[in-house]
Every structure is written in structure tokens, then in C-alpha cells.
A and B are shown apart, each in its own frame.
Chain A
Amino acid sequence: MSGISRRNFIQITGGAAAVSTMGFSNIILAGKSAGHVVIIGGGVGGATAARYIKRADPAVQVTIVEPNANYFTCFMSNEVISGERPLDSIKFGYKNLESMGIKVVQDYASNIDAKKKHVVTKKSGNIAYDRCIVSPGVDFKWEMIEGYDAGVAANKIPHAWKAGPQTALLHKQLQSMKDGGTVIIAPPPNPFRCPPGPYERACQIAHYLKNNKPKSKILILDAKDKFSKQGLFTQGWKKHYGYGTDNSLIEWVKGAEGGIIEGVDAKTNTVTGSVEEYKGDVINIIPAQKAGKIAFNAGLVNDKGWCPVNQQTFESTMHKDVYVIGDSSVASPLPKSGYSANSEAKVCAAAVVASLHGKPAGIPTLVNTCYSLITPDDGISVAMVYNFDGKKIQKVKGSGGLTPMDSSEAMRKREARYAHSWFNNITNDIFGG
């Protein structure tokens, strides 16, 4: 494809779309193309799908539409917040994808015309597809917290639930906070991306405070009454951060006891709970979530705001030849995680390639694992293997589960090392190396 400008490429493939209504697409560029797949979102799901389509069949043309030049992983971003690793270490570009022949168009997809089979972009016009894969991550329900919106989040009260500038802002706020300050973390109601994430964040921040600002405190104002890996986190908080004592670095207020927050005042740094008001020196609000905006624009969502799919292929049940993977899709029993999105992308890539060749889809097999770091040397994990029962994805009975509560310090240290290995391997799998 080298030597052909971005704009030309889009026009050429746009032309091909006219042909493709006659049957199997004849993309003009490569005479023997097996079809054109347009992927919306170059995050975990999108980049993995692109690579695995190319691995399965290099003759399939793959275009990613992604507004950002670089992607910052959310995983390990809590370590950036605490200062354990630099922001650059979670930053990934698209060079390796491009060297596989994947076209990356830096643009924002504003809609999908599922009848005419093209993606509408902000700057690059319409991009025709034979199959479209949508992996836009999550969007926030700002309206659920009065006084909170994208502007407030960008400058004053970060969510840091999409990594990059938000991660940097929260890190900076923590660094400039005085010793003795209060950090408020407000986790969202279910379902949301990375269920253990807010509690791992509390650990990472507590680790930073313990070593740098020991008179400070973390107040978790939770929308829920229980949370992921609760037993292990509580055990870790007790062991390392004095949880349950008068000097605890961490206090957790559950939803039923006033943890649900209704509003925020960015001027006075005050959070309004259902029972009382809380003042914080650093405030991190993680809003309730829904599918990415493009999914709403393109009519891919159900009444709950997520995208239902055929769980064998991840093809949308709303639009033919459009597939949704990652956080936006209804992939339960898989949680909304990076490992899930990576696993779903592989199932989807195989199904898309099979379908372009007029073959039936294979049988899905998936894995999820989430590591969390309680301290840099104390790692815990949850894992699960999934298969397909003919209609739906199901957990394989007897598989998976949590790190045992009684595992030794040495084994927790191993898990921390394996957590970092996981980060290196999965980012290599997603973005190439």
C-alpha cells in the first residue's frame, strides 16, 4: 500500500464499495484482497482484532479509525498515578501495526451507515467496509453526578478512567497535595470497565501516601455495597495500610451507608453524598458508564446502553456485518477488562475472516485474568476460562477463581512479577513488538 496517500486510499476503497454490492468485494488496490475490514477504535479490542485478522489472512485489508496518535493503556496506569512507573511506559503507537500493512487513519468515526456499509468520519469522509468492528471502549454518564462533566474532569476533578492526560493530572494532584490531605475516590455502580480497578487504585495511592505523606487519608465513597476481590483487597489493606484501625490510610463507605454521591462542587472541592457532604484535597470521581458514543449514534445499543452481540462471532444483533467487542459489548459472563477485550477480539477476528471466505465461524474459546497490585511486591489475581454452549459464552466449571487468601508473601511477590510480565506480553500481543 506504500506510496498511496491516506486520502487516495479512502477514495479507492470507497469506490470498491460500489462494486461490493454485487457480491464479494473487489477491492481495487490489491487485486486479490479478501475484503476490507474497518475497525473503529485503536485500543485494546481494535488493535488486537486488526493484528489477528492480518495474522490469519494478510490478503484482508484492515483500516483502523482512531483519533489519537498514541494509546495509553489503562492497565498499569494506577502505577503511574502512584509514581511507580512513568507515563511513557504505558504509551503505545501504531508503527508495528502499520508495518503489518494495517492502515491507521487518525480520525474520529461519527457514525456507521449499516445499509450502505460505510463508516462516517469527521475529516476523512466515508470509508466503505465489507465488515466493520467497533471497539470504542466506554463513555460516561456525566448526568448522574450534578456539577460533573468532561470540562471539570479535564481540569479539576479527573476520572482517570481513560489513561493519558487524565492519569498525569491525578498523579500531579497527588504529588502537590499536602501531607494530611484527604483523597476521595468515588467508584461507579456496575457494570463498568475493570471491576477491581478502583480498589487497586486505592492500594497504589495508599502505597504512595504511606511512604510520602503518611498523615493523609483515602476515602472511598462507593456506589456499591460490595466489590471485586473484596476479601483479598480488605486483607491487603489491613496488612499494609492499617485498615480497620484508627490510623487506617483507607476508609471505605459503601453505597447503603452514604457512599453514593449525587453531586460535586469543583470550586470548594466538596462531594455531596446521599447522607452527608465530604471535602477532599484530591478528588477522583469515576462516573457510571455506558457504551462508547459511536455505538449510540450507529444504533448498536440496547435499552441499558450496551451493545448486544451474537456471542459466537461478536456480530451485532442490531446490524449485520457490524461487530462489537471490548467494553461496549454485552459479553457477560466476561467482565469488562483488557484481557477480555483482547480475547474477544481474537474470536471476532477469526469469525470475520471466516465470514469473508464464506466459511462458518469456529467455536469460541476465551480467557480473562486481572492482576492487581496491593503493593509493588504484593500481587493478586482473578482468572477464568470460558467456552461456548451453542448459544452463549459460559464459564468453564471448575476453572478460574482468585488468588488463595492464605498464599504466602513469596507467592504474592511472584504474582507481582507475573503481573508485570502479563503487561509486557499483552501489550506486545495488542500493539506488536
Chain B
Amino acid sequence: MKLNKKVLGLIVLGGLAVSGNSWSGTASALDLANTCAGCHGVDGSSVGPATPSLAGISSEYFTETMASYKDPEGRYSTIMSRIAKGYTDEEINLMAGYFSKQKMIPAAQDFDAKQAKAGAKLHKKYCEKCHEDGGRSSEDDAGILAGQWMEYMQFTMDDFTNGRRDMPKKMKKKVQKLEKAKGAAGMTQLMHFYGSQK
């Protein structure tokens, strides 16, 4: 990292604020984000095989996701809701800023080239509208799909279809259409397409 001054700035930016006996202070964005690396990888690029990468995530999607994890009625997780509850909105905003600026290193994973090719077509037809740029974009409040760990995306689709996570209405329509046209094989092809993206 050549960010020398910037990083140092961030470290100090966290700063202390002690007034009288009451203590208040917020850790820096960098220090907060660094605690996630043990599971999500250095600077948010996971080396897998299942935990998702966070690098390049849009800050809107990040903050919404963390809020949903904190909400007992929100998005299902094996562990993230226990972790998300440890952070204030301010801390979550700081981390959103950090992770959204990181460059995602695409997952190095095995994929089937034939399935990926078929998936590319399906992506254009059913998913590109919201998961733009071949699933590379994290705009429209969605996560990055291109280069994400396939196993994570399979878990996630399983959560969507089994009601553990709310699927956006319009996405649901497309997923149902896909299912009708291609059966379960279609989704598998899509996963291989995203998994193949570098």
C-alpha cells in the first residue's frame, strides 16, 4: 500500500473525545474495516470458498444490508446478524465508505466454461437490467455478482427462494420466468457465468 499519509490520517482521524468523565469516540473507518478481514479477506476480497467479498460494494447496499442484519425481522444469516449488532449507524457508514472504495479481486474458483457461456446469455435476458455491466456493478442497491464466490450466491438464492431473505419484487418475477423457461439448470448456468468473470 502506498497510502502512507492517507492511512495514517485515518488512524488519527478516529480521534479521541473525552469530555469530563463521559467517553465518546468512534474508531476510524480503516480500523473498523480491518476487523472484518479475518472472514471477508484483506480489504474485503475474500479468498473463499464461501464467504463473500465486500470490496467494491455500493455504500447504499452495504448500509441497507447491515441494517437488515441488525433487524430481527431482517435478512437471514448464519453469523452476520450477531456481528452487525455490534456497530452504530455511524460506524456502518464509515465502513461503507471504506469497502465501496476497494477494488474487488475476483474469486479464483473453478467453473464450467460451457455453463458459463449459456449463463452469459441468460444474464442479459433476465438479470442485466439491474445487475448491470455483467453483474459487475453494485449500483441499484444490489451486491456485486461478477467474481463473487459461487457458493455464497447459491446460498443467497436459496435464501431468496425459501423466504429467508426478501427478494425484490421485480427480481422475483424474472427469477420465476427463468425457472419456467430453463428449470433449475438456468440458475446454475448463471452462477457459472458470474463465477467465470475476472
Residues of A within 8 A of B (CB): 52, 55-59, 339, 342-343, 346-347, 350, 353-354, 357, 359-360, 362-367, 369, 381, 383-391, 396, 398-401, 403, 407, 411, 414-415, 417-418, 420-422, 424-426, 428-429, 433
Contacts and interface: CB of A to CB of B under 8 A. Distances in A.
Given A56-B7, A367-B38, A359 B78 contact: no
B39 A369 contact: yes
A149 to B, nearest CB: 35
B27 interface: yes
3 closest Cβ contacts across the A-B interface? A385-B86, A390-B23, A399-B86
B39 A414 contact: no
Given A343-B35, A353-B8, A426-B37, 7 more contacts: A360-B15, A363-B15, A365-B32, A369-B79, A399-B86, A424-B48, A428-B42
A366 B38 CA distance: 11
Contacts of B51: 418, 421-422, 425
Contact of A383 (B2, B28, B79): B79
A47 B192 CA distance: 36
B48 A363 contact: no
Q: Tell me which of A381, A386, A387, A400 has the highest count of chain B C-beta atoms within 10 A of its own C-beta.
A: A387
Interface in B18-76: 18, 23, 25-28, 31-32, 34-42, 46-51
Contacts of A381: 78-79
Interface of B: 1-2, 4, 7-8, 11-12, 14-16, 18, 23, 25-28, 31-32, 34-42, 46-51, 78-79, 82-83, 85-87, 91, 151, 155
Contacts of B40: 425
A347 B198 CA distance: 33
Contacts of B16: 360, 362-363
A369 B39 CA distance: 9
A428 B8 contact: no
Given A52-B34, A363-B16, A383-B82, A389 B23 contact: yes
Given A359-B12, A367-B36, A421 B49 contact: yes
Contacts of B34: 52, 346
A357 to B, nearest CB: 7
Contact of A400 (B4, B14, B35, B86): B86
A399 B37 contact: no
A151 to B, nearest CB: 36
Contact of A399 (B38, B85, B155): B85
Contact of B46 (A367, A398, A414, A425): A425
B41 A425 contact: yes
Contacts of B151: 417
Contacts of A58: 1-2, 4
Contacts of A433: 42, 47
A422 B85 contact: no
Nearest to B28: A362
Contacts of B82: 383, 399-401
Contact of B15 (A362, A403, A417, A425): A362
Given A407-B78, A433-B47, A364 B18 contact: no
